[in-house]
Amino acid sequence: MDRTRGLAIVEIAGRDSVAAAVAAVRERGFRELLPTIAFTGTETGDREAPKRAVAALEQLLAGVARVHEPVALSDPALWSAMNARPAAEIQRRFGVYSPCLACHLYLHLLRVPLAWSHHNAPIIAGERDTHDGRVKLSQTPESIDAAIRVLGSAGVELLQPVRALGGEGIATLAGDDWDERIGHLGCQLSGNYVCFDGTVRYDERGYARYIAEFYEPVGRAVLDAWRAEREGAPATDFNAVVRGVLEG
């Protein structure tokens, strides 16, 4: 398959992800999109919103690309092992912690086995370096770059076509009436790293060490474990994988 004009997997979340899919089709000429809706176990709000986002994407790309029925993905054990169980050790070692830090990496990793089963199809994500001045610790330039490297090590291209765009650029791609028309799915942990005065404060050096010594190595270790499973190894103990990285 010519992957530049074949099938791509889309991470469906909110407006940014739909905008990213539209941008990727325009830039890379994909003919088919496989939407994926991933769950962490912390969702709140309208669970039908992702499906409406898929329907909106289908309308935006009518006559240009085929949008398949969405696939739902989740692995609570993996999410817990990456984002909950090691919390105290991560805080002690790096001086920075939030369950959001590795959550987006978890969401990317969930799509990799599906990409493998579709000839290493690229994955389209809607992360952005900045959100019109707001800091999101789940989406920083450093974490986005690291996630691209992690998936690249598995032979899967992680496309981030809207990472440099602001809100106006996103609205141009996906429409500016999103909240009223589509809505969104929320998270119980949303805003946990934001101070009461609205600021986000964290140790930048500690965060850089976290990316280099935990975030990226854990992503690669999970992928290695999944590769081993495909070759007949027992089911992965994700807590053991994460602990191995921290103690290695």
The pLDDT tens digits of the residues spanning 182-216 come to 777 888 998 899 999 989 989 999 999 999 999 99
Helix (H) or strand (E) holding 50: helix 49-60
pTM confidence score:
0.94
pLDDT of residue 29: 95
The pLDDT tens digits of the residues spanning 18-29 come to 999 999 999 999
- Matching CATH number, 7-247, of 1.25.60.10, 3.30.9.80, 3.40.50.620, 1.10.287.70: 3.40.50.620
Count of Cβ atoms closer than 10 Å to residue 73 Cβ: 16
**Residues 3-34 as b or e (16 or more Cβ within 10 Å = b):** eeebbbbbbbbbbbbbbbbbbbbeebebebbb
The pLDDT tens digits of the residues spanning 145-171 come to 999 999 999 999 999 999 999 989 999
Question: Domain-by-domain residue ranges, the chain?
Answer: 7-247
